[in-house]
Amino acid sequence: MSNRVEDVQMLRLAKAFYKIKSSDVRRAVVQYVEEQLEKEEREEKKRA
């Protein structure tokens, strides 16, 4: 994927995130993303 497409996707994600009014939903989104990052990092360590 090109950097331009990734940049546009990141902007769309940020824009959508800021539209979320509920702090509980925002917290859940951040928590989910952090969990996915941890999974990805564990998988990368297994491959190394």
Is residue 11 scored above 90 in pLDDT? Answer: yes
Is residue 18 scored above 60 in pLDDT? Answer: yes
**Hey, where are the domains in the chain?**
1-47
pLDDT tens track for 19-38:
999 999 999 999 999 999 99
* Contact criterion met (CB below 8 Å) for 20 and 29: yes
Is residue 1 scored above 70 in pLDDT? Answer: no
pTM of the model as a whole: 0.74
Residues with Cβ within 8 Å of residue 29, at least 6 apart in sequence: 17, 20
